[in-house]
Amino acid sequence: MPLAPARPQTFWSRHKRSLTPWLFLAPGLVMFLLYVLIPIVQSVWISFHDWDGLGEKVWIGIENYVELLDDDTFYVSLKNNVLWLLLYLLAIPGGLAVALFLNQTVFGIRLYKSLFFFPFVISQVVVGLMFTWFYAPDFGLFSALIEWLTGEQVAILADERFVTYGIIVAGLWPQTAYCMILYLTGLNNINPEQVEAARMDGAKGLKLLWHVILPQLAPASFIALVVTVIGSLRSFDLVSIMTAGGPYGSSQVLSYFMYEQALSEYGFRMGYGAAIAVVLFLIMMVFITVFIVRMLSQERNG
Amino acid sequence: MFPTPIQKSAPWVRIGYKLLLPVALIAWLLPLIGVAITSVRPAGDLAAGNYFGIPSGFAGVENYSAVFANSPIGWYILNSFKVTIPTVIGAVALSCLTGFALAVYNFRANLLLFFMFVAGNFIPFQILMVPVRDMTLKAGLYDTTIGLVLFHVAFQTGFCTLFMRNFIKGLPFALIEAARVEGVSEWKIFSRIVLPLMRPAIAALSVLVFTFIWNDYFWATVLVQGQHAMPVTAGLYSLNGQWVAAWHLVSAGSIIAALPPVLMFFLMQRHFIAGLTLGATKG
């Protein structure tokens, strides 16, 4: 406002109401624009170019996308992303089961709840290293268990048939803990009168859970679904730590495939990487839109 | 209460439950327990093939001091703090402002901006990777902790704004109205009235963001290359490559890297869970 000294006060006082929120928003909004919104547009732009990250960008139209359609690794990644998504959803019933198991008031239960939550607090790098070691053939505890069960020794992370499942199991461990804590909070807020009334009517066990408890847990289930779907499509750390996409690219997922192409040791392919990122982004936007629409309708009703 | 309180069950069920709890916990935390035990196992055990049996002795002091003496893990930990603490301060400060703006003022773009922040929070990092890396390089901030901090602050502002806005919406609006009638300026309403009430939200967000950023691995590999700025997540992975088969060292390193967020969680447990479960109770 000091730019127009003749009538700063009139301008400020006239627009004070409408300008105030923008002044509060400005710092956060600028950072968000600079590091999130603009880069999304730039990525789309870069995906139409051939670029090594240093020299000039060369416009090649949709060639990156055409190449992607012909790339076997792309289809392996897509297939694995679907596997991740589907199997990751097991964290939701799993988390509910653990939460139901722990929703008691006995001595020390609070400590038990926090210890069960532990896997979520530690870094996925640590989780990945732990599971790699547990899967190690010859001496790993899980591989010993599998050998005992099937009578066959399997090198899970080196076997194209099992590698993705092995990594997903490692991911399910912290994700189940996350869903558990969401459900524990939800169970805490259940209306006891309704539960008692249903019990009076003779409902119990699974029937009570399905008809009375689960509807009341809907908000917790929704958040659990959101974080699980997003988490499954974001899977990067575990793949990177445990297999780097191998053996022979069989455990690739889009997020790691993109990283590998863009910062490949054989030369940076920023354009191609950006094209993969755009595909992943579009897939996730489908889910994000569904989530946002639901949150928006809650916002309007609430 | 659901399920039926165990106190109402037969005595054998109660005893069974109390016995089952520790067994279930040990099974659940088996990977962690395995790593903790290995971190104090003498190196000789591993050579002799004793990977999961009873350790032949306690070598915790040797293993942990070997990790600190022979690797830059102390330096990596320091870098993690240099990234995490400024990010927590920056993201919480910015989101106090944005959250206040979106919770208190009615203007046309309000909901649009709010959902933009929410959506931004869910997008895949990969769509940001190439431009953010390029921008950081051009700004001369590649391979520095500041480069990481700036990105993290911007990205976390999305999640933090969602949180702060909903928290402020839950505060009594009459307080703000009354102050306006008194002629208190908007800035003072924010700093003197609303901000002091936001303490629990600030605490909850600080612990959460601390954990998220401490555990970040992706950006630590994208925006950092050399040892001098590398946080402990990326550092641990590169050490894992050097310590081939030295599982007692890898384990000790893992425990060291996991300890700060675990401690943070234990000290601030209630805030942590309040932050994480925001929205899980009311639809």
pLDDT, tens digit only, all 302 positions of chain A? 455 555 556 787 788 878 899 999 999 999 999 999 999 999 999 999 999 988 899 999 999 999 999 999 999 999 999 999 999 999 999 999 999 999 998 888 989 999 999 999 999 999 999 999 889 887 788 888 888 888 888 888 999 999 999 999 999 999 999 999 999 999 988 888 888 898 888 888 888 899 889 999 998 999 999 999 999 999 999 999 999 998 999 999 999 999 999 997 777 999 999 999 999 999 999 999 999 999 888 888 86
For residue B173, CA distances in Å to A261, B3, B104 come to: 52, 38, 8
Q: Minimal CA–CA distance to A186: which of A224, A220, A212? A: A220
Spatial separation of the C-alpha atoms in residues A72 and A80, rounded to whole Å: 12
Cα–Cα dist B91/B206, whole Å: 9
- Do the Cβ atoms of A241 and A125 come closer than 8 Å? yes
* Residue A49 bridge partners (DSSP): A59
In A, minimum Cα distance to B98 occurs at A25
Q: For residues B205 and B92, is the Cβ–Cβ distance under 8 A?
A: yes
CB-nearest to B130 from A34, A182, A273 is A273
Q: Which residues in chain A are contacts of B149 at CB distance < 8 A?
A: none
Quote ipTM for the complex.
0.91
Structure tokens belonging to residue A274: 């950006």
The answer to whether the CB atoms of B269 and A241 lie below 8 A apart is no
**Mapping DSSP to helix (H, G, I), strand (E, B) and coil, where does residue A49 land?**
strand
Please report whether residue A282 resides in a domain.
Answer: no
What residue of A is the nearest CA neighbor of B165?
A: A25
3-class DSSP assignment, residue A59: strand
Distance CA B6, CA B18 (A): 10
**Beta strand A49-50 pairing with A58-59:** antiparallel
| Per-residue confidence (pLDDT) for residue A3, from 0 to 100 | 53
Dihedrals φ, ψ of B238, to 5°? -70, -35
Distance of CA A90 to the CA centre of its chain: 14
Please, are residues B100 and B168 in contact by the beta-carbon 8 Å criterion? yes
Instruction: Give domain status of residue A1, yes or no.
Output: no
Q: Is residue A295 part of a domain?
A: no
Q: Which of A35, A43, A220 sits opposite B151 (nearest CB)?
A: A35
**Inter-chain contact A106–B21, Cβ cutoff 8 Å?**
yes
Cβ-proximal residues to A19 (8 Å cutoff; 6+ apart), any chain: A12
CATH number of A211's domain = 1.10.3720.10
Lookup: tokens for B263: 């401690």
Q: Which residues of chain B have pLDDT under 70?
A: 279-283
Chain B residues near residue A131 by CB distance under 8 angstroms: 31
Domain range for A223 is 87-267
Query: What one-character-per-residue DSSP string does B34-92 give?
Result: HHHHHTTS-HHHHHTT-SSS--SS--HHHHHHHHHHHSTHHHHHHHHHHHHHHHHHHHH
Amino acid at position A288, single letter? I
Q: Which chain A residue's Cα is nearest to B253? A: A126
Mutate to test the interface with A, among B8, B122, B148, B176 (most CBs of A within 10 A): B122
Tell if the CB–CB gap between B283 and A218 is shorter than 8 Å.
yes
Per-window interface: B 21-80 vs A, CB < 8 A? 21, 24-25, 28-32, 34-35, 49, 51-52
Please check whether residue A161 lies inside any domain of the structure. yes
User: Which residues does A210 contact at the CB level (< 8 Å), separation at least 6?
Assistant: none
Residues 6+ away with beta carbon under 8 Å from A72: A249
Quote the Cα angle for A39-A43-A48, to 5°.
Answer: 150
| Dihedral pair phi/psi, residue B36, rounded to 5° | -60, -45
Cα distance between residue A99 and residue A93, in whole Å: 10
Which residue is listed with tokens 């297939």? Answer: A79
Using alpha carbons, select from A109, A239, A118 the residue that is nearest to residue A178.
Answer: A118
Closest CA of chain A from B259, distance in Å: 8
Judge whether A41 lies within some domain: no
CB B273 within 8 A of CB B206: no
**Residues A124 and A241: beta-carbon distance below 8 Å:** yes
Decide if A30 is inside a domain: no
- Say if B196 is an interface residue toward chain A (CB within 8 Å): no
Residue A50 has a pLDDT of: 94
Rg (CA), chain A: 25
- Residue B282 is predicted with a pLDDT of 52
Give the pLDDT score at A153.
81
A246 φ, ψ to 5°?
-85, -175
Tell me the H-state helices in chain B. 11-28, 30-38, 43-47, 60-70, 73-104, 110-120, 126-138, 145-169, 173-181, 186-188, 195-197, 199-214, 218-222, 232-242, 247-267, 269-276
Q: Is A50 helix (H, G, I), strand (E, B) or coil?
A: strand
Which residues make Cβ contacts (< 8 Å) with residue B119, sequence separation at least 6?
Answer: A288, A292
Q: What is the pLDDT of residue A295?
A: 87
CB nearest B254 (choices: A32, A118, A126)? A126
| Range(s) within chain B of domains with CATH label 1.10.3720.10 | 71-276
| Tally of domains within chain A | 1
Superfamily of domain B71-276: MetI-like (1.10.3720.10)
| A25 within some domain | no
Find how far residue A248's CA is from the centre of its chain.
Answer: 25
- With vertex at residue B129, the alpha carbon angle to CA B128 and CA B132, rounded to the nearest 5 degrees, is 75
**Closest Cα of chain A to B132: distance in Å?**
7
Residue A58: strand, helix, or coil = strand
Measure the CA–CA gap between A163 and A247, rounded to whole angstroms.
8
- The answer to whether B130 contacts A42, with C-beta atoms less than 8 Å apart, is yes
Radius of gyration of chain B (CA): 24
Q: Is B31 exposed, middle or buried (0-12, 13-18, 19+ CB in 10 A)?
A: buried
Please state, in angstroms and rounded to a whole number, the distance separating the CA atoms of residues B220 and B147.
10
Contacts of A174 (CB under 8 A, 6+ apart): A119, A120, A122, A124, A127
Q: What is the pLDDT of residue A65?
A: 96
